[in-house]
Amino acid sequence: MTGLRYVYAICHPFGTPLQAQLTGVAGDPPRLLHHHGLVAVVSHVPERDFAEGPLRSRLEDLDWLTATARAHQGVIDALTVVTTPLPLRLGTVFWDDSGVRVMIEEREEVFRRTLERLHGRVEWGVKVYAESEPADGDRSGAGPGDGLPAEKAVSGRDYLRQRRMRMRTNENMWQQAEAFAGRLHETLSAFAEDSRLHAPQNATLSGASGRNLLNAAYLVPREESEEFVELVDRTKDDVPGMRVELTGPWAAYSFAGEE
C-alpha cells in the first residue's frame, strides 16, 4: 500500500473497536499500530497532498484546511468515546509505519507519563461573551441598561452630559463583565484539576456575536463531568448581558503538551 502515514493520536491499548464507518483525513479509515505497548492511530494519506511541499501550500487553502481539521477532530472525537487519546497536532506525517515506530520508541517515556496524567480526563471549553458591544462615545442609542433614550440634545451642555453618562455606563458594564468572567474562572478552576486560559477569540474568525472575554479550557475527570456541566449551567444567567458557552467533552488538547 502506498501513501504516507498520518498520525492522529497516541493511546494506551484499548479493547473497544472504533465505529466501523469512521473515516479520517483524506477519507481513509484510521487503523491501530501497536508498538512497545502503545497504540498509534494512523491512516494513509496521499503524497500529492501531504508531502512537505504540497502540504505547505494546502495549509493556505482554508477550505482544505477546514475539511482536514474536521476529519482530524472526528477521529480524535471517536477515540475520546472509547479511551483517553493523547492528541497530536494536525499534519504529523511519516513516510511509513517504521517511521511511526521509531517516533514511538524515541518518545515512549513522555507518552506514558502524559497518558497517565490525562487518563480518564476530558477537556471542557468555556467562553464568556459580553452580548452587546457597548456604544462608543459618539453613538447615541447605546446598549441595554443604558437607561438613556436617544433623545436629541437640546444644548451643547446637554450633549456633553449625555455623552459622559453613556461613557460611564459603558465603563461600568465592562467592569461588571470582567468581574463576572473572573469569578466564573475562579469557580471552575477550583473544581477542575487543571485549567488553561486561551487568547480570546475574535468574532471575525469564530463568527460568534459579542465580545469574547474568557476563553478557557478545564481538565475534568469524566465521572465529574456532569457535575462540571451543571456548575456551568447554574452560573449562566447570573449577569444580564453575559453569555456563557460550553463546548466539549474534548480530548485533552490543551493539556497534552509538556508541562
Partner 1 sequence: MTMPSRVPEPYGHGSGANLADILERVLDKGIVIAGDIRINLLDIELLTIKLRLIVASVDKAKEMGIDWWEDDPALSTRARRSELARENAELRERLARIERLEPARTEEERESS
123-142 residues near partner 1, rule: CB under 8 A = 125, 138-141
Taking CA atoms, 33 is separated from 70, 94, 227, in Å, by 22, 13, 35
Q: What single-letter amino acid sits at 177?
A: A
Q: Which of 1, 2, 9 is nearest to 100 (CA)?
A: 9
8 Å CB contact between 18 and 24: no
The verdict on 240 binding partner 1 (CB under 8 A) reads no
- Reading the block at residue 174, the C-alpha cell is 465592562
Verify binding: residue 222, partner 1, rule CB under 8 A.
yes
Question: What is the helix (H) or strand (E) element at residue 35, kind and residue range?
Answer: strand 31-35
- Measured CA to CA, the distance from residue 169 to residue 166 in angstroms comes to 5
Smallest gap from Cβ 169 to partner 1, in A, equals 17
Q: Other C-beta atoms within 10 Å of 10: how many?
A: 26
Among 32, 102, 148, 179, binds partner 1 (CB under 8 A): 102
Question: Which residues are registered as beta bridge partners of 35?
Answer: 38
When asked if residue 253 is in the footprint of partner 1 (CB under 8 A), the reply is yes
Give min distance, CB of 171 to partner 1, in A: 17
Is the CB of 4 or the CB of 181 nearer to partner 1?
Answer: 4
The answer to whether residue 256 forms part of the interface with partner 1 (CB under 8 A) is: yes
Stretch binding partner 1 (CB under 8 A), from 27-35, 52-60, 169-177, 182-190: 52-60
Contact status: 86 vs partner 1 (CB under 8 A):
yes
Q: Which DSSP letter does residue 145 get?
A: T
Answer yes or no whether residue 156 interacts with partner 1 by CB under 8 A: yes
Residues 4-33 that bind partner 1 (CB under 8 A): 4, 7, 10, 12-16
Is residue 82 part of the contact set for partner 1 (CB under 8 A)? yes
CB of 62 to partner 1, least distance (A): 9
Q: Which stretch binds partner 1 (CB under 8 A): 30-38, 114-122, 168-176, 181-189?
A: 114-122
Q: Is 77 in the site for partner 1 (CB under 8 A)?
A: yes
Is 165 near partner 1 (CB under 8 A)?
no
Q: Which of 256, 237, 236 is nearest to 126 (CA)?
A: 236
Terminal CA-CA length for the chain = 38
| β-sheet bridge partners, residue 69 | none
- Contact residue for partner 1 among 208, 235, 241, 243 (CB under 8 A): 208
CB of 183 to partner 1, least distance (A): 21
Q: Give the interface segment with partner 1, choosing from 152-160, 166-174, 178-186, 236-244 (CB under 8 A).
A: 152-160
Q: How far from 126 is each of 71, 89, 226, CA to CA, in Å?
A: 23, 21, 14
How far is Cα 126 from Cα 59, in angstroms, rounded to an integer? Answer: 28
**Which burial class, exposed, middle or buried, applies to 181 when counting CB atoms under 10 A from its CB (0-12, 13-18, 19+)?**
buried
Write down the least CB distance from residue 75 to partner 1, Å: 11
CB of 179 to partner 1, least distance (A): 23
